[in-house]
């Protein structure tokens, strides 16, 4: 994917890539890229997210601990970086959100996707992440409860509230 572009970015800045970084990149770059692509809807933004996430890891590698929850960390980092990009950029109309808000299915798909993306950028980052992980990444309620450290019932009520908020923002 972006191995060469990441290497080009890291080395001119005077950074070297320790072996652990190489292993992390090989193991998690696809997870980061695919998560970012699902959120942003385009490969250029997904590449930007990939570079952002791994440059952050490279800068703090001595403090980064690999653990059983590393994949969750990388998904969350990719989701957050993707949402940041969406907030900074003009909105594009190509994100895979078909069917998430069925009440608005009569609108053109492109317009709906643009409105959902804009609405996501207005949510609290944790709420936006919960929504993305549930509806774009396909996480179960139990997985979300574990990742966020909340009860399963709380996941359901938060998702209900998030959908209501998104619906209100989109219908304006």
CB 121 within 8 A of CB 87: yes
Q: What is the token pair recorded at 125?
A: 């980052």
Instruction: Please give the domain boundaries of the chain with CATH numbers for all domains.
Output: 1-89 (1.10.1740.10), 97-172 (1.10.10.10)
Question: What's the gap between Cα 80 and its chain centre?
Answer: 5
Res 9: pLDDT:
45
Res 7: pLDDT:
46
pLDDT tens figures, 44-83: 889 999 999 988 888 776 566 666 678 888 988 998 888 8
Residue numbers in the chain where pLDDT is lower than 50: 1-12, 90-96, 98-99, 103-104
Measure the CA–CA gap between 137 and 42, rounded to whole angstroms. Answer: 16
CB 167 within 8 A of CB 101: yes
HSE-CB at 62 with a 13 A cutoff on CA atoms is: 3
């Amino acid at each position: 994917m972006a191995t060469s572009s990441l290497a080009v970015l890291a080395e001119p800045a005077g950074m070297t890539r320790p072996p652990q970084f190489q292993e992390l990149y090989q193991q998690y770059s696809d997870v980061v890229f695919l998560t970012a692509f699902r959120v942003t809807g385009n490969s250029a933004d997904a590449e930007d997210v990939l570079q952002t996430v791994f440059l952050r890891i490279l800068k703090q590698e001595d403090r980064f601990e690999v653990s059983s929850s590393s994949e969750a960390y990388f998904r969350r980092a990719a989701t957050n970086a993707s949402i940041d990009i969406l907030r900074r950029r003009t909105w594009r109309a190509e994100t895979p959100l078909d069917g998430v808000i069925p009440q608005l299915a009569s609108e053109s798909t492109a317009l709906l996707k643009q409105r959902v993306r804009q609405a996501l950028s207005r949510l609290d980052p944790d709420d936006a992440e919960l929504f993305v992980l549930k509806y774009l990444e396909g996480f179960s309620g139990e997985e979300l409860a574990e990742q966020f450290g909340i009860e399963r019932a709380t996941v359901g009520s938060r998702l209900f509230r998030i959908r209501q908020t998104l619906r209100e923002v989109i219908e304006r």
